[in-house]
Chains A and B, each alone.
Chain A
Amino acid sequence: MTIRMRRWVMGTGAIGLAALFVAAFMRLPRFGGDRHPYGDRATDAALTRHTANVVSSINFDLRAFDTLGEESILFAAVLGTVVLLRQTREEDRVPPRSAAVDPWVRRYALAALPVALVVGLYVVAHGQLSPGGGFQGGVIVATAVHLLYIGVDYRALERIRPVALYEVGDAVGEAAYLLVGAAALIGGSAFLANTLLPYGTFNTLTSGGVVPLLNLAVGIEVACAVVVLVSRFLDQAVEITDAASDAEGAGTR
């Protein structure tokens, strides 16, 4: 297909899609409207289950099974990335030289690292109370670790980041979610339903029954998954080289 023709097909499709969009948007509830039947019911359900953050209650209690699916997507995607970006036989691993870092960058990065780490852990721990939770906090923790790469160098990062350990952590997080779900079966109830834990006092760290546990499992999994993900990409970008194929590429071009 020529580029001209592709633009024509694209243009017609876009106009058709735009028309369908407008037709659909006309029948959506108006922006800022007052009717949110599902939202109101979810809020009431969250309050009866003593969970202050309604979004966490939905994610880890009302829709906990969906979140299990989402966690599995994350797990599978990380697994796929690890397989895709592994070191192949014809590739070499060249350890990068240590680079000089501007002292101010170093000081700032090293000062920010513990702060970011604590903020991340706080966001995970308070997921059922205030905005945040396992996903957000997990990503913050994982990125905080990489401040070491900015502040010092790649080798320092590798020393405190045994990737194998984080891979195990990823699997442990996913398994913990499943086990907490299966524990409900012991109580004679449905998978992921809360039967064993008390709902606790509203607006305290242990409130919400099963929510803090699932939140923590997700936090562990997301933090480890992101560290593994970034480490694979860093490996490819910094360390793994492919001398043979580079020479071949230069020859054919």
Chain B
Amino acid sequence: MVSEDLVVSVCLVLVAASATVAVAVREPVRQALVLAVLGLALAALFTVLQAPDVALSQLAVGSVLTPLLILLSVRKVRRRGHPTGDEAQR
């Protein structure tokens, strides 16, 4: 089962890499996009680990719902003044 191991390893590395990038990206809007990528990578990993139920819910929650809520919150927080802080973030 060498090929199976290889696919699992590639997915694991992808997940670890996108998680690291998601933390390293300090700007919340970009982070939301990276989190969506992380959600996709996790869904791929779960599919390879033979967990289609979890992959489906991760796809729906991790790469759609969470980034959407983060984007909406950022929009609200930005709109509420404190422009200096926002400039510093960029």
Residues of A within 8 A of B (CB): 53, 55-56, 123, 131-133, 135-136, 139-140, 143, 226, 229-230, 233-234, 236-237, 241-242, 245-246, 249-250, 253
Residue pair B72, A139 in contact (C-beta under 8 Å): no
Residue pair B69, A230 in contact (C-beta under 8 Å): yes
Residue pair B52, A139 in contact (C-beta under 8 Å): no
Nearest-neighbor residue (CB-CB) of A135 within chain B:
B57
Main secondary structure, interface of B, reads helix
**For the complex, is B90 an interface residue (Cβ under 8 Å from A)?**
no
Bound CA span A53–B53, Å: 9
Residue pair A229, B53 in contact (C-beta under 8 Å): no
Residue pair A136, B84 in contact (C-beta under 8 Å): no
Binary per-residue interface labels of chain B (35-54) against chain A in the complex, 1 for a CB within 8 Å, 0 otherwise: 00000000000000000111
**For the complex, is B13 an interface residue (Cβ under 8 Å from A)?**
no
Residue pair A136, B73 in contact (C-beta under 8 Å): no
For the complex formed, measure the closest distance between the CB of B64 and the CB atoms of chain A, giving whole angstroms. Answer: 5
Residue pair B53, A236 in contact (C-beta under 8 Å): no
Main secondary structure, interface of A, reads helix
Choose among A56, A136, A242, A253 the residue with the greatest number of B CB atoms under 10 Å from its CB: A136
Number of interface residues of B (CB under 8 A): 22
Bound CA span A178–B37, Å: 37
Nearest-neighbor residue (CB-CB) of B4 within chain A:
A32
For the complex formed, measure the closest distance between the CB of B5 and the CB atoms of chain A, giving whole angstroms. Answer: 8
Residue pair B73, A242 in contact (C-beta under 8 Å): no
Determine the chain A residues whose CB is within 8 A of the CB of B82 once the complex forms.
Answer: 249, 253
Bound CA span A143–B75, Å: 19
Task: Knowing A233-B73, A241-B79, say if A140 contacts B60 (CB, 8 Å).
Answer: yes
Bound CA span A241–B78, Å: 12
Determine the chain B residues whose CB is within 8 A of the CB of A143 once the complex forms.
Answer: 60, 64-65, 68
Residue pair B75, A226 in contact (C-beta under 8 Å): no
Bound CA span A141–B56, Å: 13
Binary per-residue interface labels of chain B (56-90) against chain A in the complex, 1 for a CB within 8 Å, 0 otherwise: 11001100110011001101100111111000000
Bound CA span A140–B58, Å: 11
Specify which of B56, B60, B76 is in contact with A237 (CB 8 Å cutoff): B76
